[in-house]
Structure 1
Amino acid sequence: MLKREEMVSSIPATPWRWAFTALAAAALAACGSGEREPSNDLPKGFTELGATVYPATATGTGATAATQDLLTGGLGKTGLGAAAAPLYADPANPTAAELRRNALYSNYRGILDPTAGGGYGTLYGPNITADGQVTAGEGLIPGREYLAVLDDGTGRKQTMVAVQVPDSFDRNRPCIVLGPSSGSRGVYGAIGTAGEWGLKKGCAVALTDAGKGVGLHNLSDDTVNRLDGTRATRTDAGSLSFFAARLTDAARAAYNAAFPNRIAIKHAHSQQNPEKDWGNDTLAAARYALYVLNARYGTTQDPVPFGKDNTLVLAGSASNGGAAVLRAAELDTDGLIDGVVASEPVTEMPTRQGYTIAVGNATMPNPGRPLAEYTTYGNIYQPCAALAPDAALTETSIFNYIGLTAMTARAEARCTSLAAKGLVIGATTADRAANALSKLRLYGWTRDHDRMHNAHYALGNGPILSAMYTMAYGRFGVDANLCRTSFAAANATGDVVPATGAALAQSFATANGTANGTPATVVYNDSVGGAKAWQFAVSPSTRVADFGLDNALCQHALVTGFDPVTGFNLSESSVPTRAQSDAVRAGINEVLHTGRLRGKPTIIVAGRSDALVPVNHNARAYTVLNRGLDGSSTRLRYIEVVNAQHFDAFLPFSGFDTRFVPLHPYFNQAMDAVWANLRSSTALPASQVVRTTPRGGQPGAAPAITAAQVPPFVTRPSTANTIEVSDGLIRIPE
């Protein structure tokens, strides 16, 4: 006789399967006496999509479910580390199984350094056992994956959840690891962090995109991603559409006429402000994971063997996923979550008052600003600041991306344009750049970031986030033309072109949910001479190619409510308008943290050199805020890693390889530490600075990293490395 989950997985992924799932659950609940007994009910808002067995224990093509596992898609350690992605049988029409395999491949590599020289296979990776032993194996983990979608009844939320139950799951010591995705990534975005760690421990892993994910609506041909990643027209996708812009056919036609070949992106254009739900979506994933475990292992006599009282639940992730697990802990009134690990988290601070951050004896200026505020500010000044004497680079490397890609003249033009508007002072480019750099330092960045502004900006972080997050916070539709900005594929000179069919067909696996150019990039619609990708934009007010300064100023005004040039408050006739700014600022207020962690053991790990999520606005600020709220009984610990920055995936790049170490080993160690505290009452480490040693060498040819260069944090650090946290003050050793 087939078990319930086997019956469900044998039914095609259609609405009929969903109806069958609900009927089966009702039938099981109806069995027994007339007295109401515990029942395993599907959590509110969820629709099950099915369960699939991924049984592979040896590497293969990964083209079918039978040749895949939960962690590596059948590719193993070697396949995930291969420079070339697995091929599709038909690149224009990849199957859902092929897309899953390639999504695991790209998401794993998208947040970790997959090169041997960077530590893959020796410091971390599928071949490393749960207790840290390096093996010659491929690290496949067989098991079963349950997919479901969480919605609010509108069909627009569409949050994906994947619960992975490894064959090694121990029913006698049940555990669940929650992994909300980092960045704007899809449901497999945390596979290399929470996913790998949890599966190796034999825990069920609940992955979720937390309302983000790869939802690309190509407005020209009206095609969308389905929930399984494949593409279809919006009409054909129907209820299986992952995201479609809220446009009537007439409105879409009008928009296409004005702005052809544009793409709507879920995180930016869902009009849901998904960030406000990251914590609740993570908690919902935990509830669905418990439901899955009870459905699989429950019996007539004991239909609900697993619950919050006997199942250890550890929430861990990085970046936006780190924000999500902290928010989940703050909202967890039911006590679902036992412990938390947040790596490089975005911590939208509820206040900038009442605390001080000191490094050595120096007080850090202006801490605790929200992401949208400091990102849009940096987007104005970073390309100019990168030319300052303290920040200038001459090497040929990706770390010097402005020089490598011939952007220097445009960066100089940005300095000139800023000076013309009175936003920087100085008679020369060097003077103006130095003034821009000093402004960034006063806004929360530090000298550790001086030379990072170059690649950080030129690789697109500022333009992408400034566009996407203001749209998301204000709940603007794609047709709002907010700050005259849109998303589209672009050619080598920045002209808008149609996205290729293959790029869209493979987007579930290749895209990361942002406008990073795969396949859509940020486009400034009002660039003089016609719409251009941000790198090539000519500002209407300056008539020069200065990376579209007008658009950057507009985006910052949305966050502050005033014109950054004149200082005047926005009005209903300004660009942007006062109403648009009010909407953005209201959305920001919806995503603020509380700072109260309800006594849960928590470790925050962050890199001192993180220029995307600067520690003065995030990890440091949150740690001291929490101390003021939870007092001396707080169980939050903060680990700050010297020579670590936000993107481990950048570490193979020339110039990054010589300067920085991976942060990921410290995420793994933090997960181990919280686990040991929960399982064995082992003491949590004290808050501390970890001093690492970069690989050095020549850009693009750094020597292989060794374990000695990334020493572990310790339970009791020396005085020189101890971070002191008291009410209203955090003091970081230099």
Structure 2
Amino acid sequence: MKRIMLGTVIGVSVFASSAWATNNPALNTLPGFIQGEIAQTAYDGITDDLLTAGLGASGLAGPAPVFNDVLAPTPAELRRLAIYNNYRALVDTVPGGGYGTFFGPGVGAAGEGLISGEEYLAYMTVPGSDVPVIVMAQVPDSFDPANACMVTAPSSGSRGIYGAIGTSGEWGLKKGCAVVYTDKGTGTGSHNLETDSAQRRNGTLTDADEPVQFRADLSDTARGDFSALWPDRFAFKHAHSKVNPEADWGQHVLQSIEFGFYVLNERFGRPLPNGETLITIKPENTVVIASSVSNGGGSSVRAAEQDHRGLIDGVAVSEPNVNPRVDTSFTIRQGDGPVITEHSRSLLDYTTALAVYQGCANLAPAIRDTAPLNAVFNSPVVDENICNSLANKGLVTGATLDERATDALRILNENFGIQPEQNLLAPVHFGLAVAQSISMTYANAYGRAGVEDRVCGLSMAATDASGAVTPLAPAAEAALFSASNGIPPTAGVNLVYDGALGQPTHLAASASPSSSQLDYGLDALLCLRSLAQGSDAVTGGALSGDAAALADAIAMGISEVRASGDLHGKPAVFVTGRADAILPINHTSRPYFGLNQRVEGQKSNLRYYEILNAHHLDVLNGFPGFADRYVPLHHYYFQALDLVWAKLTDRQPLPPSQVVRTVPRGAITTPLTEANLPAISADPAATDRIRFVDNQLRIPE
């Protein structure tokens, strides 16, 4: 591996201005936010590559690669497994679901889709924080300086630096564009508080005093005292960095673009006799598309809002996690359904509601036996206990279990604006602890709480078959960089309810002190709900003391991540599945589009495409019960990128906002065809058009 030594030390800011911020933008200079050295690696596209780590399209669809030494994997092995896992976490690779036909490394490319080029990896920081953020630029050998292009790829979810490799990474690399990635201050950065072991940038572990992705802000004495009380616990960067990284996601993306231009000009700029380099690749002659999915998509949207230097030309995102500024001057209505006035709830608001009520709602007769994998991932006994606990606290009504579960489902649909289309998907998400993990992580992050605060009595650790805390197996810890999604439960690290009846226990197996029942630690989930709504979730009364202070801090943190809706007229496309069960569309894409219409009016170039029979996690489509009902949103995300590219390079108009009426394939054994996936129409029927009229966002049924 070749390394470019920059003569700086991690954690000590260089403060060297980048070319774009100086009065002499002609010379290429290292951005001041880069910390330490840049690792540069060339990939030949034969034995290893940028997109698939040498696995190729068939390798990504096959068994996971293994380490030669499970206790000491090499950086190359960790990278390969990280790319494999991150690709498959977002893309359905099961035959018939579109992989290899509509998308995948080999589609529109030669052979297995291996892409040669160079990869540049570095740490960076943002003003006001010394928490390391990882940034990466990939430059394919097909990059043409005369037709320069760049695509952003901030990670989805809380994933690490390769978290968008299969989404905007694949599209950009196959287009011949430079792709710039960032873990946006989340990532797989884990800190074993018992051993002080943490991950280097390349994923290997160390307990030495050297640069790492993340270590909790604790002295050795404080860490020892904490471990004496709470042994074998972990801290994770997103939850425990004390900086609310989401507030800086837009800045992370903008800095990644700056880093990309620096790298491109180091390679393709004009060298001068004095050793300096003239900039030849700049925003004015480079097509830059801000992109990615989920949290990464939201990050690129925020970057476009904050772009006052003309770095970004267009936006193409899928299912973006945006928390739009609340604007009650407009409403949302789907078909002849109810008028939605309470849209734009925050992520923590609706997610804590799902964490509290969905376990009971799993048993509602309307979905109990039809929701895919409900019985596989959820215990009817635990769900019944949740219903009983909620009823005893006066949070659901009904004399029978069916009535209580139905009321829980009603609360989610009517009180919290959760689309009925997501009801069949929500049970498996609850079983996978999606809402529970998001609630815990984001409550900590928004409130800038440390691992030592154990918000709502929750911590992170490995657990045994009985749910008791146990040390994480060394082989599992060695693989965390490659296997973790950055937000426990993940890769063997679980959510632990320290206040569970009896002893600290895996949250899913916890009995609440208030009920003495195995009810998924409902007391802890209600605590998180109280912090989100700023009042006691059971009584409605005011919070006091530390809880009130933390709730106020969380409210402030949420206000810092609210999106403005102002894209400054940039061509932009959102694609979102109507059945999204993680980021409900009445609080994300729909109200953002409405807010944008209010803010930009006739100057808006945002288009919104709502895809029927599509949801948030395409990977589930490889399972029976999902394959027959849902189509890959990923396919329409690539269409969004194609449309924005055509707008920017050929001045082709963006199609009007519309509902796209897909056709499920009916069985996992029936391959998807073009008949299942109608294209976004350049001239949609009037009955399919999404309109903003008289301060109402009108969505066709």
User: What interval of TM-score do these two structures reach, taking the shorter chain for normalisation?
Assistant: over 0.9
Tell me if the contact between 1:365 and 1:444 (Cα under 8 Å) persists in the aligned partners: no
| 1:230-309 paired onto structure 2 within 5 Å | 230-233=204-207, 236-238=208-210, 240-300=211-271, 303-309=278-284
* Pairing 1:212–2:186 present: yes
Tell me if the contact between 1:51 and 1:144 (Cα under 8 Å) persists in the aligned partners: no
Tell me if the contact between 2:629 and 2:665 (Cα under 8 Å) persists in the aligned partners: yes
1:417 to 370, 389, 414: 389
CA distance, structure 2, for counterparts of residue 150 and residue 199 of structure 1: 23
* Pairing 1:119–2:98 present: yes
What is the match of residue 4 of structure 1? none
CA change 1:222–1:552 in 2 (3 A) is same
Gapped runs of 5+ residues in structure 1? 1-8, 30-34, 59-66, 130-134
Deviations 1:357-393 (A, max 9, x none): 1101222352110100000011111111111121211
Give secondary structure in 2 for the equivalent of 1:206.
strand
What is the match of residue 334 of structure 1? 309
Task: Quote the sequence identity (%).
Answer: 43
Q: Give the drift of 1:585.
A: 1.0
| 1:94-173 paired onto structure 2 within 5 Å | 94-129=73-108, 137-152=111-126, 156-173=130-147
Deviations 1:98-155 (A, max 9, x none): 11111111111111111122111111000111xxxxx671000000111111124887
* Pairing 1:556–2:556 present: no
CA distance, structure 1, for counterparts of residue 428 and residue 437 of structure 2: 14
Tell me if the contact between 2:2 and 2:41 (Cα under 8 Å) persists in the aligned partners: no
Tell me if the contact between 2:7 and 2:36 (Cα under 8 Å) persists in the aligned partners: no
Tell me if the contact between 2:7 and 2:37 (Cα under 8 Å) persists in the aligned partners: no
CA change 1:15–1:55 in 2 (3 A) is closer
- TM-score, length-scaled by structure 1: 0.91
CA change 1:717–1:420 in 2 (3 A) is same
- TM-score, length-scaled by structure 2: 0.95
CA change 1:444–1:155 in 2 (3 A) is closer
Tell me if the contact between 1:48 and 1:147 (Cα under 8 Å) persists in the aligned partners: no
Give secondary structure in 2 for the equivalent of 1:708.
coil
What is the match of residue 389 of structure 1? 365
2:44 to 56, 72, 77: 56
CA distance, structure 2, for counterparts of residue 260 and residue 380 of structure 1: 28
Cα RMSD for the two superposed structures:
2.1
CA distance, structure 2, for counterparts of residue 606 and residue 393 of structure 1: 27
CA distance, structure 2, for counterparts of residue 307 and residue 388 of structure 1: 57
1:380 to 356, 362, 375: 356
Give secondary structure in 2 for the equivalent of 1:731.
strand
For 1:546, the aligned partner's letter is: D
* Pairing 1:88–2:67 present: yes
What is the match of residue 732 of structure 1? 699
Q: Give the drift of 1:579.
A: 0.6
| 1:302-321 paired onto structure 2 within 5 Å | 303-321=278-296
- The more displaced of 664-673 and 654-663 is 654-663
Q: Give the drift of 1:285.
A: 0.4
For 1:106, the aligned partner's letter is: N
Tell me if the contact between 1:390 and 1:451 (Cα under 8 Å) persists in the aligned partners: no
What is the match of residue 647 of structure 2? 677
CA distance, structure 2, for counterparts of residue 665 and residue 394 of structure 1: 26
* Pairing 1:458–2:431 present: yes
Q: Give the drift of 1:718.
A: 0.8
CA distance, structure 1, for counterparts of residue 624 and residue 78 of structure 2: 30
For 2:184, the aligned partner's letter is: A
Tell me if the contact between 1:489 and 1:517 (Cα under 8 Å) persists in the aligned partners: no
What is the match of residue 359 of structure 1? 334
Tell me if the contact between 1:330 and 1:598 (Cα under 8 Å) persists in the aligned partners: yes
Q: Give the drift of 1:501.
A: 1.0
For 1:312, the aligned partner's letter is: V
What is the match of residue 346 of structure 1? 321
CA change 1:517–1:94 in 2 (3 A) is same
Tell me if the contact between 1:109 and 1:649 (Cα under 8 Å) persists in the aligned partners: yes
CA distance, structure 2, for counterparts of residue 490 and residue 496 of structure 1: 4
| 1:582-593 paired onto structure 2 within 5 Å | 582-593=552-563
Give secondary structure in 1 for the equivalent of 2:573.
strand
What is the match of residue 68 of structure 1? 48
CA distance, structure 1, for counterparts of residue 5 and residue 473 of structure 2: 28
Tell me if the contact between 2:43 and 2:116 (Cα under 8 Å) persists in the aligned partners: yes
Tell me if the contact between 2:94 and 2:622 (Cα under 8 Å) persists in the aligned partners: yes
Give secondary structure in 1 for the equivalent of 2:271.
coil
Tell me if the contact between 2:631 and 2:664 (Cα under 8 Å) persists in the aligned partners: yes
1:520 to 466, 483, 493: 493
Deviations 1:192-240 (A, max 9, x none): 111111111111110111111101101111100011111011xx151x2
* Pairing 1:664–2:634 present: yes
What is the match of residue 132 of structure 1? none
What is the match of residue 441 of structure 1? 413
* Pairing 1:626–2:626 present: no
What is the match of residue 580 of structure 2? 610
- The more displaced of 615-624 and 444-453 is 444-453
Gapped runs of 5+ residues in structure 2? none
Tell me if the contact between 2:25 and 2:279 (Cα under 8 Å) persists in the aligned partners: no
Give secondary structure in 2 for the equivalent of 1:439.
helix
- The more displaced of 292-301 and 196-205 is 292-301
Tell me if the contact between 2:289 and 2:312 (Cα under 8 Å) persists in the aligned partners: yes
Tell me if the contact between 1:386 and 1:451 (Cα under 8 Å) persists in the aligned partners: no
CA distance, structure 2, for counterparts of residue 531 and residue 334 of structure 1: 51
